[in-house]
Amino acid sequence: MSDTWTPSARQRERDAYRRRQNLRSLLIAVVSTVVIGGLLIAGMVSAPGWQRTQETFFNWDKAVDAFPDVLAGFWINVKVFGASAVCVLILGMVLAILKTLTGPVFWPVRALATVYIDVFRGLPMILLLLLVGFGVPALNLTGAPTDPVVLGCIALVLSYSAYVAEVFRAGIESIHPSQRAAARSLGLSGSQTMRFVVLPQAVRRVVPPLLNDLVSLSKDSGLISVLGAAIDSVRAAQIKTAESFNFTPYVVAGLLFLVLTIPMTRITDRISRRYGAVPGGGHV
Amino acid sequence: MSRRLPAAGSALLALLAVAACAPADSNDEASSAGSSSSSSAASCAPADLDTLTSGTLTIGTDSPAYSPWFEDNDPANGKGYESAVAYAVAKQLGYTDDQVKWSTVTFNAAVQPGKKAFDFDINQFSITDERKEAVDFSSGYYDVAQAVVTVKGSKAAGATSIADLKGLKLGAQVGTTSYDVIESQIAPTSDPSVFDDNDKAKLALNNGQIDALVVDLPTALYLASAELDDGVVVGQLPQTGDAQEQFGLLLAKNSSLTDCVTQAVDALREDGTLETLETEYLTDSAGAPELK
């Protein structure tokens, strides 16, 4: 007599039915993908200008030729993005906390944070870059940075910290007041409540919109090239394109950005699942 | 399954419709390629030229249009070397001044494949073999030398040789042969700065963010005398390689106009018009010593 559990005949029947259904769904999905993908490709390839487009945008030789320069430029994008991202997250968090402080004594701090966010979120990125990048050195202040890369990073941080501050604030304000009340009634101070109860929950909730801003920052890292700064991947592609009037280097640069941002998204998705950043009642 | 079919079916229908309605090629270059070989024999009179608008010559250039190539950012006033050359070419082809129309075309738009918004584009495009794979050029209407320009008090102001420039922070405009010249001839120890346009490069030079700027010689002379406070032309760079660098008029690849426009430019060079216009609009380059 076996003491291991064996599913009943009915259960086995149900399992087999489910497997068949899954297989069928899979088959349908595959066929539908092949048909739609095939039609899209056929549509593109049969366009009257396809030959020209292929030569100008998807030229393998030009891609190979441009790749080393574009990749070297991309390393600058990654460095600028990394340095700015750290500063943006810190400054954004500080601004969000300042803006959510309660009590009349903090009014000027709240006002300052609000003005900062309104101004820097409202200015077009490129304008801010030109103003900081060429305006600050023109002041001729001793000790002020003149390196365009540093100035570019400052401009990026000014703008993106304003966006990120609002994301963090939304997270902080989404935590139910009962959480604070409970923490305070357990004897935690205001700052302890913030640090141990509110922020950990708030940050988890805003991971997806935060990633949005970081992906956007990674792409805007290339804008600092308007200051004549280091030759980033987009600028390197532009130089290569100007040599031969062939646009393939832009496609190469585009692919490099996708290689950076798509895994970033997948990793964040995984992290947020792991730390339970799920809607209030969990998945239904 | 049966419930999903209509959705899938309509999606497929929509896709097919999109494919069927795809626009026909508006600028069939293959057909004009065939006519270009025959056009050399044909007449270059306005009536026979297959221009964008019949009876009108549409000329493209970028905005801002810089001096001394154009004046007051207005290509249509006939002043400035390139504006004058454009009108001379138009006249040579048989167009009157009021049959010339200008259109603003950025660098990238001028060189991208497909339909062009101009019959030819004049914007200090250097002729290179690599670029000829993508576009057509007329013969050269100007022989270019590259030059180094800076401001008094800069580290570059005292330079007398290419070796003196190696340790400096140099700048150039993106997409120019000036940038290539920095890399190939000067090979500075720090990466050059690359700017969208000369206005930003000028700002950086005034701010001390770069030590010197490499531009074509007429632009260098103009910047030093009119645009920069205390501007100095350090000197011009020697020609390298086999070919003299030249500016050419840019046309669509296999344009039917290329032969006629080239003939017009050649005629203007032969009858001395180009030289006269150079003397009129471009500062004498005698003041710019050659850097070795």
- Concatenating the DSSP letter of every residue in A42-56 gives HHHHTSTTHHHHHHH
> Does ipTM come in above 0.85?
no
Cβ contact (<8 Å) for B114 and A49? yes
> Which chain B residues are within 8 Å of A246, Cβ to Cβ?
133-134
Q: Is the pLDDT of residue A192 over 70?
A: yes
Q: Which CATH class is domain B6-144+243-284?
A: alpha beta
**Average pLDDT of chain B to the nearest whole number:** 84
pLDDT of residue B30: 41
Q: What is the pLDDT of residue B42?
A: 60
* pLDDT confidence of residue B257: 92
Please tell me if residue A53 touches chain B, with a CB cutoff of 8 Å: yes
- Flag whether pLDDT at A111 surpasses 90: yes
When pLDDT is cut at 50, 70 and 90, the band that residue A143 belongs to is confident
Task: Kindly list the residues from chain A whose CB atom is less than 8 angstroms away from the CB atom of residue B136.
Answer: none
Q: Is A115 on the interface with B (CB under 8 A)?
A: no
Mean pLDDT, rounded, for A145-160: 92
Burial of A159 (0-12, 13-18, 19+ CB in 10 A): buried
pTM: 0.77
pLDDT at position B4: 53
Query: What does the pLDDT profile of chain B (292 residues) look like in tens digits?
Result: 445 555 555 555 555 555 555 555 554 444 444 444 444 446 788 888 889 888 899 999 998 888 889 999 999 999 999 999 999 999 999 999 999 999 999 888 888 887 888 999 999 999 988 899 889 999 999 998 899 999 998 888 888 889 999 999 999 999 888 998 898 888 999 889 999 888 899 989 988 889 999 999 989 998 988 888 889 999 988 877 667 889 999 999 989 999 999 999 999 999 999 999 988 888 776 667 777 7
Q: Name the residue facing A238 among B113, B175, B207 (closest C-beta).
A: B175
Q: Do domains B6-144+243-284 and B146-236 have the same CATH topology?
A: yes
For position B267, what pLDDT does the model report? Answer: 94
CATH architecture of B146-236: 3-Layer(aba) Sandwich (3.40)
Q: Residues A101-108: what's their mean pLDDT?
A: 90
Contact B12 A225 (CB under 8 A): no
CB contact under 8 A, B113 and A49: yes
Please state the domain extents for chain B.
6-144+243-284, 146-236
- Residues from chain A that touch B4, judged by Cβ atoms under 8 A, are 28
Distance from CA of B77 to the nearest CA of A (A): 29
pLDDT of residue B175: 86
CA contacts within 13 A on the Cβ side of A102: 5
Given a cut of 50, is residue A281 above it in pLDDT? Answer: no
Q: For the residues A145-162, what does the mean pLDDT come to? A: 92
A29: nearest CA partner in chain B = B8
The nearest alpha carbon in chain A to B190 belongs to A230
Secondary structure of residue A249 in the 3-state scheme: helix
Q: Which pLDDT score is estimated for A78?
A: 94
Residue of B106, B108, B174 to mutate, testing the A interface (most A Cβ within 10 Å of its Cβ): B174
pLDDT tens across B110-120, in order? 888 878 889 99
Distance from CA of A160 to the nearest CA of B (A): 24
